Copies of this chain bind each other. A is one copy, B any other.
Amino acid sequence: MNFEVDLAIEVLERTPPALAALLGGVSESWIRGTEGPDTFSPFDVVGHLIDGEETDWIPRARIILAQGESLRFEPYDRFRHKQRNAGRSLTSLLQEFADLRKQNLRLLRSWNITSRHLSLPGEHPRLASVTLAQLLAAWVVHDLGHIAQVSRVLAKQYSDEVGPWTPYLPVLTDHLRPRS
């Protein structure tokens, strides 16, 4: 598929309700499980996605669209959520994520992005030059990667419960050395 803003928004607007449908109201033992030390639980993933709304995707798109003196993005702190959300409930994080995403997509739509905008450059702190289209496509893929991660982390809580089925359930052996 080629990148198109409308098709990207179709996915971006579904991520909060999909995560709410998957995680809303489930027990703490599902929500807090991880894949091992220093990896994200489903709770952490929702916090990380909130960080993305506040500090990553839209702020970087603004830098590109402004085409000001510096095109350089701020680095993205992948662990900001850890302190920020201590003591929060998952229900409140899911709602916050949904609200932030709604605001950000309203803003994105209001920019009436054309193909000229899509090829404008920005400067990633480690990847060097990227375009607005690449940034927005990465936002979509980032969402989907984290939905896949939540499903995988939930699945792995039953790694020892499926007995001889393990070889038929590849999700249990994906990312044996996971990156958070």
A residues near B (Cβ < 8 Å) are 1-3, 7, 10-11, 14, 17-18, 20-23, 25-27, 29-30, 33, 124, 127-131, 133-134, 137-138, 140-142, 144-145, 147-149, 151-152, 154-155, 157-158, 161-165, 168-172, 174-175, 179
Contact = CB atoms under 8 A, between A and B. Distances in A.
What secondary structure prevails in chain A residues at the interface with B? helix
A170 to B, nearest CB: 6
Contacts of A171: 141, 144-145, 148-149
Nearest to A1: B157
Among A142, A147, A174, find the residue whose CB has the most chain B CB atoms closer than 10 A.
A147
Contacts of A169: 138, 141-142, 145
Q: What is the total number of copies of this protein in its complex? A: 2
A126 to B, nearest CB: 9
A151 B142 CA distance: 10
B30 A10 contact: yes
Contact of A161 (B133, B144, B147): B133
A162 B138 contact: yes
Contacts of A1: 29-30, 33, 157-158, 161
B124 A137 contact: no
Nearest to A22: B18
A130 B26 contact: no
A169 B170 CA distance: 19
Given A22-B147, A171-B148, A163 B130 contact: yes
